[in-house]
Structure 1
Amino acid sequence: MPRLSVIVPVRRARGQLRECLESVLTQSFTDIEVIGVDDGAPDGSGLLFDEFASRDCRVQAIHLPPGAGADGRRNAGAERALGDYLLFLEGDFVHLPGALQAVADRLDATGDPELLLFGHHRRPFRGRPRPTRSLELLGGLPEGRLTLAEHPVLLDIAPVSWNRAVRRTLHEGEKLSFGPGQHGERMYAFQTLAAAESVAVLATPCVEHRGRRRPPGADAAEPADGSAPHQLVEAYAALMEFVRDRPPLAPVRTLLFERAVQELLAGYPSVTRRRRRYVRSVAAFHRAHRPGEHRFPGGAQGLRPRLMGGGRYAALGALDTVLALRRSLRAAPGAVRARAGRSLPGHYYWWQRRLPLDGGLAVYAAYWNRGLSCNPEAIFRKARELAPQVRGVWVVSRNQVGSVPEGVDHVVPGTRRYWQVLARATYFFNNVNFPDHLVKRPGQVHVMTHHGTPLKIMGLDQQNYPAAAQGLNFDRLLQRVDRWDWSVSANPHSTEVWARAYPNAARSLESGYPRNDVLSTTPGDRITAIRRDLGVRPGQRAILYAPTHRDYETAFTSRLDLARFCEALGPESVVLVRAHYFYEGAGLPDHPSLIDVCEHPRIEELCLAADALVTDYSSVMFDYAHLDRPIVVHAPDWETYRTVRGVCFDLLSGAPGDTPGAISTTTDGLARIFLDGSWRSPENEALRAAFRARFCPYGDGRAAERVVRQVLLGETEPVVGGAGGGARAAAGAATHPAPPHPPQARVKQPPRAPP
C-alpha cells in the first residue's frame, strides 16, 4: 500500500499533461501511486495516461464516459486510491522538485495528521512564478497539530483540492466527496478542514499553479450553465448540513456560516438573472442555518448583509441605485473619446462585412501570400474534386502573381476584391496566420494547416528563448490564434505541442499533412521525370541537403563543406542543396556534382527525387520519413541550436522514435556515412522505422481528403487507410535505392501518443 496516492483528474489538458505527470513520477520520493482520470474528451489526454501506465507500474488510468464532470473524475480517482494519503493535482499544474519528499517528511514529523496543508506558487499564463497569500499564511502558523476551531485563519488558505494531503481514513470515514457544479471543490476543501481533528501545515511551495488561457469560444475547464451564484447558495447549504449532521463539528459551525455570508454577499453583484430569486434563497439559507450567536456588523458596514439576510430585495435595489448615482456624479464629465477616421478600404471592408456570408467561398493562402503551395494547395485541389460547390480564391502577393497556375482564381492584398472576399468568404485556409486586419465574422471557419512538425520550440513556448522570439508580439499572436476553428495535425506529437504552444479553442484535426499525400501517391514514372528535370543523371545517387534557418543568423551559413563533400562522394552522387526560404541567396560553390534547388517551388518534388535526405533540424525530416528512405542528421551545432532556439525532444539521443538515422558532426564524418554504407545500415533502418511509427501514422495519401470531408462536407467519420507504398519505395532511376523495408513496417500503425 503506497504512502501517497496522487490523483490527476483532467479535461482537455493534452498540451500540459505530460509535464504534469513527469513532475510527479520523477520525484525523489517514490512510494506513490498515480491515478489518472479523464472523461473521454477528444483532445486525447487519455492516450497519455495509457502511455505512462504502460511503462510505469505506479500509474493507472481510469477512462470515464463524457460528461462525468470534475466531481465525477475526482471521486472516481479517490475511490480507486489505496495510499495512506490522497493528493489531487490538476493536469495543468506540476509538483515542484522535492515536493512529495517534503510532504512525506512533514507527515512523519507531525505523527500522521488527518490533514496536511502545503504551499504553492502561482504562475500566470504569461509570467514568472510568484509566491501566494496562502504560502504567507502557512508560514505564520505553528508547526504542530492544529484545528480549525483554534486557528480560523486556516479558512483563508486557498480552498482547493491540490494543496492538501487528506488521510484516506478521514476521507472514507467521514464520507467526504466532491459535490457537483463549480463549487464542489471548494466545499470539499472546507469539509476536510471542518472534519479533521488534526491539521498540520507545510510552508513550502509544493505545487506550481499554472494559469491556463481560456480563449474566446473555448470550452471552459467544465461547462458552465450561468447559475454559479445560485449554485453557491446550494453548495453552502450542503456544507452546513454536513456540519449539522456531525455534532462534534459544532465548534466550527459559526466560522463556516460567517464565511458563507461573506461569499454570498460578494456574489450578489455578479447575479445578472433572477436576482430576486437569489436574494430570497440567501434569506432562506440564513433562516435555516444561522447560528444563534451570529451577529451582523453594526452601522453602514452591516447594512447590506442585513438586507440580504432578511430577503429585502427592493431595499437592496434602492441602495444600489443611490450608490450608482453617486459614482456617476463623481465621474469626470469631459471624457469623450475621439474617433479615428476610417480609410476608404476600411469603410468598404466594414460595409462588406454587413452583407451575408457566401457559403460556397473559401480563401486560401500560404507562406505569407507566396502563392500556391504546401497544405493549403493540397486541400484546395482535393476540394475541387470532392466539394466543387465551394469555390477557392487564393491570396497572392503582387510580385508572385506570375506563379499562379492558369485557371486559379486569386486576389492581390489591398485590392477592392481582396476586402470583398475577406468579408464574404465562409472558409479560410492558411499555413501561417492571416494578417491582423482580418476581422473574423460569426460563421466564418478558419483552418490553420501549419507547415511542419515541431522539433524546435514554437508559439508561446518561445517566451523563454529571446533569440527565437525576437520581434514576436505574443499578445497579437494570441489574438491571431483565437481565430482558428481547426488546427490540422500531422501526428499525435504535433497535436500535443500545438495544444501547449497555441492555447485556443480550435479543434485538432489529426489527419496527417495534406502536402505529404503526394509522397504516397506519385507514380514511379513521374519521379523519373522530376529527377531528369532537376539534372540528375540515370544511375546517380541524389542526396537532398536541406538545412533549416537559425533565428540568430541573418544569412545562410552552410555547416557543411559542400565542395569537399561532393569531391568525397565522387561523380556517382549528386547533392541537391535547398537553403531555407527565409534566406536571400545561398552563395553556393560551383561544383559539377552540386545542384542549386533553393528556388525550386516544391519541396515535395525534391523529396521524391532524393535517394537520401541530409538535414540538421529542419521539419522536412518528418515529411521525408513518409518515403521510408534514409535520413542522415548533420548536426555540428546541436548544443548551440537547442540552447538558443529550444527544442521539444533530443533529436540526437539515439533513442527509438527520437532519431531518424545516422548522425554526423563533420563533413568528413558525413562523407564516411555514405561511403561505408552506414547511411542505410540495419541499425539506422530500425531507427527510421521507429521514427516513422511516431511521426508518420497517417501516411496513406488521404490526408487532404480527411480535411475536406471534415471541414467542407461536415462528415465526422474519419477516413482510415494503410500507409501507402506508391512513391515511398520508388526512387526513380537511382542505382542506390534503400533496401526493402520489413513488410510489417509498411502497415499503418494505429494512432498513439509519442513514446
Structure 2
Amino acid sequence: MPRFSVIVPAYRVQAYLHECLDSVSGQSFKDFEIIVVDDGSPDACGAIADEYAGRDHRFSVVHLPENTGLGPARNAGIAEASGDYLIFLDGDDTLLPDALRTIADRIAATGCPDVLVYDYTRVYWSGRTVRNQLAQHLTETGPPSFRLADRPELLKVLMVVWNKAYRREFVEAEGFTFPPGYYEDTPWTYPVLMAAGSIAVLDAVCVGYRQRRRGNILSTTSRRHFDVFDQYDRVFAFIDERPGLAVWRPVMFRRMLDHFSTLFTSHGRLPPGTRAEFFRRARAHCVRYRTPGAPVPRRARLRHGLFRLGAHRTYRLLWAAQQLGGVLRLRTASLRHAVRGALLQLHYRVQLRLPVRPHDAVFAAYWNRGYACNPAAIEAKARELVPGLRTSWICRPEHAHTVPTATRRLHPGTFRYWTALARSKYLVNNVNFDRRLVKRRGQVLLQTHHGTPLKTMGTDLVDRPAAAGSTDFDQLLRNIDKWDYSLSANLHSTLVWERTYPSAYTTLEYGYPRNDVFHRTDPREVARVRETLSVPEDCTAILYAPTHRDYRRSQRQGLDLERLLQVLGPRFVVLARSHYLYSAPKAPAGRSPHPWIIDVSDHPSLEALCLASDALITDYSSLMFDYANLDRPLVIHLDDSQAYEAARGTYFDLQTFPPGVVARSQDELFDIFTTDHWRGSRSAQLRAAFRARFCPYDDGYAAERVVRRVFLGETAGLPVPVPLKERRPVGTLPRQSAVRAPSDPSRAATASPVGD
C-alpha cells in the first residue's frame, strides 16, 4: 500500500501533461502511485499516459470511453486508488520539487489527519509566479490538528480539491464522490472539511496552479455555469442529512450568495440573454436555503439583499454604476497624475533658469535604491574634504533609512528632487539619471559605474537582443553625452567604457571608491558585522552571490546550497546574496530555512558582506573584481557558460583567466571544496595574477583621488596608488576553529588556512 495515490484526470492537456507527470515522478519521496485518467481526450493525453505507464510501474492508466468531466474522472481514479492518502492534480498543473516529502512529513507530524490543506502558487504563461494571497490562513500555529469549527477561516482559502491531501479511509467511510457538471469541487470540499474529524495545515507551496492565457474551462461562455445551483443543492442536502452540521448552514448560505454574485457579474461566462434566468434561480435558492446568522461584510449586504428580493434590474444597474465608477476613478487618478507631472516639469523649467548652486551635490545609486556603491563612498569622502559642501541623496522612501543623517534625502518625483537636479553643481550616479535631466552649463556629472565589465555592456549589446531587451540606444547615447567624467577601476574598464559608451567625457582611472573599505576597516568592525549576521564565531563564511541571467525570464538558484553545506561540514555557513533584479533564494517547499544558510539579500552593504565572509562563490558577477582586493579565496561556478556566452557574451574568457578555481558543474564545485583546492596554492596563484591586472588602483585612496579631482579641481598631488605588494587588506579576527576538520586524517597536516 503506497503512502499516496496521486490522481491526474487528463482532457485536452497534451501540451502540459508531460510536465505534470514529470513533476510527480521526479519527487524525492518515492512511496506513491500515479493514476492517470484519460477522460476520453481526443488528443494525445491517453498515449502520453500509456508511455509513462510502460516505463514506470508506479503509473497506471484508466481510459474512459467518452468525456465525462472532471468529477466522474476523479471518481474513476479513486476507484483504482490504494494509497493511504488521495492527492488530486489537474493535468496542466505541477507538484513543486519535494512537495510529496513535505506533505508526508507534515502528515506524520500532525497525527495522520483526515485532511491536510497546503498552499499553491499561480504560474502564468510568462513564467511569473504569484503565491496564494490568503496564505496567512495556513500558518502552522496552535494545535497540530483541529476541527473546522476551530479555524473557520480555512473556508476563505480557494475551495478546490487539488490543494489538499485526503485520508482514503475517511473518504470511503463518508462515501464522498464527485458529482458531474461544472463546479464539482464545491459539493466535495465543503462537505469534506465540515465532516473531517481532524484537519491540519501546511504552510508551504506544493502545487503550481497553471494560469492559461485564455483561462480555464470555467472562463468559457456556457449554460453549464447553471450547474452551480445543483452543486449547492448537494451541499445543503449533505448538511440536512447530518444534524450536527447545522451550524454551518448560515456560513454556506453566505458563501453561496457570494458565489452567485461572482458568476453573475463575471464577463463572458453566462450566455447572452440568460442573466435574468440566472438571477431568478439564484433568488429561488435564497428563499429555499436562507439561514441568517453568518456575518456579512458591509460591501456584500446590498448584493445579498437584492438577490433575496429578486431585484434583477436594480442589481445590474448598480453593477454597471460600480463599473463606471471604477473607470472614472482610474481616469481621475490618471488625470491627477498627468497634472502633477506637468506641474513638476513646469517647476523644473523655472528652476533651470535660476543660478546653479556651487556648493550643492546630488548623489544616487542603483536606480534610487539607497545609499550604496561608489557614489556612497564618494559622498562620504566629499563631506570630509570639501568645505561647505551640501550633499543630497536620491532614494525611494523605503530606502531612506540607509542614508546618513548628515545628508539630505530626496524622494524621486518631488519638487525638491527636480530643484536639486536643476541647481546642484555636482551630479554623481552609478547609473544614469532621469532621462529628462537637462545638463546645464556649470554642472558636473560624474558617472561612477558599478562594476568592472566582464559581461557585454552599452552599445555592444546592439546585436544581443536577449541582453539588450527594450534598451533605447538613442536615449542611451543622449545620456552618455551628459557625462563629464567616467570613473574606471583599471585599464580594461577604461578601454571598454570608452568604446561602448562613446562620448567626449574625461576618464578617471582612479580605482573604485567602494573598495576603499577593504583597506580601511578595523578587524573588530568585521567581527561585529559577522555577529549581526549571526555567523558563529568558529565558522567559515562562504558568500554566494550569482548574477542574473538575461536569457531567462524567471531566475533560478544555480547551486544547491544545502548539498554544498553537507560537503563543507558543520563549521561552515553560506551567506546567500541574490541579485537585486530578482528575489532571494528560498528553501524548498515546506522546509524551514536551513540554519546555516543566511539570506543576506536585503543587507544594505555588499562591501560589508564581503568583509564578513572568508571566501566567495560567484559566476559572471563583477563582484569578483572587487572581492579580489581582499586576497581571499574565490571559486567561479560556470554551469551554463555556453548559454551565457550566447545570450550576453563576455570581454574575455573567464575560464582562461579566472580569479580562482573554476567549477563547470555543481558536482565539480563540490569536489573543489572536498579536496580543499578552493583555498590551495593554485587558487592563490590565479588570484594574484587577477589582482595585478584588475586591481591596480584599489588601495584605499580611490575616493580621495576622485574628490580632489572632481570637487576640488586638483590635477597634481593626488595620492599615488600603493603597490600591490605593500597593501594590507583587512583581515578577520583569528578563529581557531574556522578551518573544517578534513575528513581524511592523512590530509590534516596539509589543510591550508582560510585566505591561504
Instruction: Return the TM-score normalized by structure 1.
Output: 0.51
> C-alpha offsets along residues 96-140 of structure 1, whole Å, 9 cap, x if unaligned?
xxxxxxxxxxxxxxxxxxxxxxxxxxxxxxxxxxxxxxxxxxxxx
Give the Å deviation of 1:676: 1.4
1:192-228 CA deviation, whole Å, 9 max, x = no partner?
A: xxxxxxxxxxxxxxxxxxxxxxxxxxxxxxxxxxxxx
1:400 is matched with 399
Matched, 1:385 2:384: yes
Shift of 1:566: 1.0
Which amino acid letter does the alignment assign opposite residue 602 of structure 1? S
State the SS of the aligned residue for 1:410. Answer: strand
Which residue of structure 2 aligns with residue 733 of structure 1?
Answer: 735
Shift of 1:397: 1.6
Relative to structure 1, the CA distance from residue 551 to residue 634 in structure 2 (aligned partners, 3 Å threshold; closer, same or farther) is same
Match of 1:562 in 2: 561
Match for residue 646 of structure 2? 643
Q: Distance in 2 between matches of 1:468 and 1:727?
A: 35
Distance 2:730 2:501 in 1: 32
Amino acid at match of 2:498: A
Task: List per-residue Cα deviations over 1:46-104 (Å, max 9, x = no partner).
Answer: xxxxxxxxxxxxxxxxxxxxxxxxxxxxxxxxxxxxxxxxxxxxxxxxxxxxxxxxxxx
The structure-2 alpha-carbon separation of the partners of 1:740 and 1:571, relative to structure 1 and needing over 3 Å to count, comes to: closer
Distance 2:754 2:610 in 1: 18
State the partner residue of 1:681.
680
| TM-fit CA distance, 1:725 | 4.2
Task: Give the drift of 1:734.
Answer: 7.0
Task: Give aligned pairs, total.
Answer: 399
Alpha-carbon distance, 1:532 to partner = 1.3
Contact 1:382 1:708 in 2 (8 A): yes
Distance 2:491 2:612 in 1: 28
Q: Aligned ranges for residues 258-407 of structure 1 at < 5 Å?
A: 343-407=342-406
- Match of 1:576, SS? strand
**Structure 2 counterpart of 1:492:** 491
Judged with a 3 Å threshold, the aligned counterparts in structure 2 of structure 1 residues 622 and 731 are, in CA distance, closer, same or farther, namely farther
* Structure 2 partner of 1:613: 616
Q: How does 1:74-223 map to 2 (within 5 A)?
A: none
Q: CA deviation at 1:683?
A: 1.6
Alignment equivalent of 2:598, drawn from 586, 595, 598: 595
Shift, 1:587, TM fit: 2.0
Across the aligned residues of Structure 1 and Structure 2, the Cα RMSD in angstroms comes to: 2.0
Task: Note closer, same or farther for the CA distance 1:709–1:734 as it changes in structure 2 (3 Å cut).
Answer: farther
**How many Å apart are 1:554 and its aligned residue?**
3.1
- Conserved? CA contact 1:371–1:404, under 8 Å: yes
Task: Please tell me the residue identity of whatever aligns with 1:597.
Answer: V
Task: Report SS of the residue matched to 1:579.
Answer: coil
Residue 471 of structure 1: aligned partner = 470
- Counterparts of 2:578 and 2:754 in 1: how far apart (Å)? 30
- Can you list the C-alpha shifts for 1:246-278, whole angstroms capped at 9, x where unaligned? xxxxxxxxxxxxxxxxxxxxxxxxxxxxxxxxx
Deviation at 1:402, TM superposition (A): 3.7
Distance apart, 1:458 and its partner CA: 0.1
Q: Secondary structure at the match of 1:429?
A: strand
Note the C-alpha offset of 1:584.
2.8
Is this contact kept in 1: 2:616–2:634, CA < 8 A?
Answer: yes
Q: Shift of the alpha carbon at 1:675?
A: 2.2
Shift of 1:740: 9.5
Partner residue of 1:530?
529
Question: What is the CA–CA distance in structure 2 between the aligned matches of 1:594 and 1:734, rounded to whole Å?
Answer: 22
Aligned partners of 1:626 and 1:728 also within 8 Å: no
- What's the CA shift for 1:592? 2.0
Structure-2 separation of matches of 1:579 and 1:732:
28
Q: Is the 8 A contact 2:540 2:614 kept in 1?
A: yes
Per-residue CA distance 1:369-421 (angstroms, 9 max, x = gap): 11111100000000011013221111112332343333321111221111111
Offset of residue 739 of structure 1: 5.6
Matched, 1:541 2:543: no
Residue 632 of structure 1 corresponds to 635
**Conserved? CA contact 1:560–1:666, under 8 Å:** no
Partner of 1:316: none
Which residue is 2:416 aligned to? 417
Measure the CA separation in 1 of the matches of 2:474 and 2:619: 31
Superposition deviation, residue 506 in structure 1: 0.9
Give the letter aligned to residue 629 of structure 1: R
Q: How many Å apart are 1:428 and its aligned residue? A: 0.3
- Contact 2:427/2:444 (CA < 8 Å) preserved in 1? yes
2:104 corresponding residue in structure 1 = none
**1:140-186 per-position Cα deviation (integer Å, ceiling 9, x unaligned):** xxxxxxxxxxxxxxxxxxxxxxxxxxxxxxxxxxxxxxxxxxxxxxx
| Structure 1 unmatched ranges of 5 or more | 1-339, 743-755
1:706 corresponds in structure 2 to 705
Give the match's secondary structure for 2:467. coil
Q: Provide, for residues 493-548 of structure 1, a one-character-per-residue CA deviation record: whole Å limited to 9, x for no partner.
A: 10010011100111100110000000111111111111111111112111111000
- Matched letter for residue 401 of structure 1: A
Partner Cα distance (1:736, 1:555) in 2? 36
> Cα–Cα, structure 1 residues 342 and 540, in superposed 2: closer, same or farther, change >3 Å?
closer
User: For residues 397 and 594 of structure 2, what CA distance do their matches in structure 1 show?
Assistant: 35
- More moved, 726-735 vs 634-643: 726-735
Contact 1:545 1:577 in 2 (8 A): yes
Does structure 2 retain, via aligned residues, the 8 Å contact 1:609–1:731?
A: no
Instruction: Tell me which amino acid in the other structure corresponds to 1:700.
Output: D
Residue 721 of structure 1 deviates from its aligned partner by: 3.4
CA distance in 2, matches of 1:377, 1:491: 20
Q: Secondary structure at the match of 1:343?
A: helix
Aligned equivalents of 1:740, 1:564: Cα separation in 2: 21
Percent identity for Structure 1 against Structure 2: 50
Matched residue SS, 2:721:
coil
Q: Following the alignment from structure 2 to structure 1, what is the Cα–Cα distance between the partners of residues 426 and 632?
A: 36
User: What is the CA–CA distance in structure 2 between the aligned matches of 1:596 and 1:348, rounded to whole Å?
Assistant: 43
Q: 1:584 to 1:734 in 2, by over 3 A?
A: farther
